[in-house]
Amino acid sequence: MEEILQKILGRFDSIDVRFDAIDYRFDRMEKPLDSMDNRLDSVENRLDSMDNRLLDVEEGQKSLLSEQGEMRKEVAFYYGSLMKKLDEAKIELSSELKHVSHIQKQHQDVLEILNERQQ
């Protein structure tokens, strides 16, 4: 009976040694796993940071598009106003040229009349 107990104790000792070996292996794997967890956390933080930056860029683009739309409206308004003033200036200049041409014609007529009377 003692022999059987010795065998059982030997097997328990063998199992203890195996468990100790398994514990040792788990302990050795724990450090690399912790390191991988830290790396993954770091990558996750970087991705979150990139997401935030992309959101900021998108907001900036929306703001620029809005400002650009407003600028286009202003440019169109000022362009329209400028073209209207240009048309008004053309009409006024045309009227002035017709007036000057008419006066020149009258002067020429007067000069012709004076020239006829002198002869």
Per-residue pLDDT, 57: 96
pTM of the model: 0.48
Q: Which structure tokens are listed for 93?
A: 């200049």
- 3-state SS, 5-42, equals HHHHHHHHHHHHHHHHHHHHHHHHHHHHHHHHHHHHHH
- pLDDT tens for each residue of 29-81: 888 899 999 999 999 999 999 999 999 999 999 999 999 999 999 999 999 99
Give the pLDDT score at 64.
95
pLDDT for the residue numbered 76? 96
Supply the DSSP symbol for 119. -
Q: One-letter amino acid identity for 20?
A: D
Average pLDDT of the chain is: 92
- Residue predicted with more confidence, 20 or 87: 87
Q: What is the pLDDT of residue 90?
A: 96
Report d(CA 34, CA 32) in Å as an integer. 5
